[in-house]
Amino acid sequence: PLNCLQRHDIKEFYDLFKNNSDVNLFFVVCLRDIVHSTLSAWKRFDTFSSIALTAKTQEDSLIYINSQMQLLPEDGFLVAEYNSICQNVKGFEKIFKAKSRMKDIVFDPRGVHPSSANHDDHHHAPFLRNFFDRKRLSQFSFLQSKIEKF
């Protein structure tokens, strides 16, 4: 969200439920190619707005998530790459069940769709690849360091 007050506070949500024995609280952070996710958000929400504004919103959201996840216990979340989930839904299901201790969860692979290759050829892709350079992407290093392989 453009307005940070409309954003869910991850740590506050965790604190609210962490001592409730009836709730198995577990977070999943699904990381996607940032150019693809920016173009997807732009297409879904407002193609009349600036792609630069959408890119800044994506960046700000990831900075927030990166920061908030560092405040949670490591056994309370899982970070996975979207493309890895698409390629191996059963592998993701296995690691999710192990980490979350939610043994009865079943994922339907029919609901998982890889990113569109059209995003790579989109006319805004060069701007976004330049905008999201290595230095800018380093802001999300905590999340990157926690990606589970499966």
DSSP string, 102-135: -TT----GGG--PPPTHHHHSTTHHHHHHHS-HH
- 28 beta partners: 78
For residue range 101-146, what is the model confidence (pLDDT) as tens digits? Answer: 999 999 998 888 887 777 889 999 999 999 999 999 999 999 999 9
Q: How many Å separate Cα 61 from the centre of its chain? A: 9
**For position 2, what pLDDT does the model report?**
59
For residue range 17-45, what is the model confidence (pLDDT) as tens digits? Answer: 999 999 989 999 999 999 999 999 998 88
Q: Which of 93, 104, 106 is nearest to 148 (CA)?
A: 93
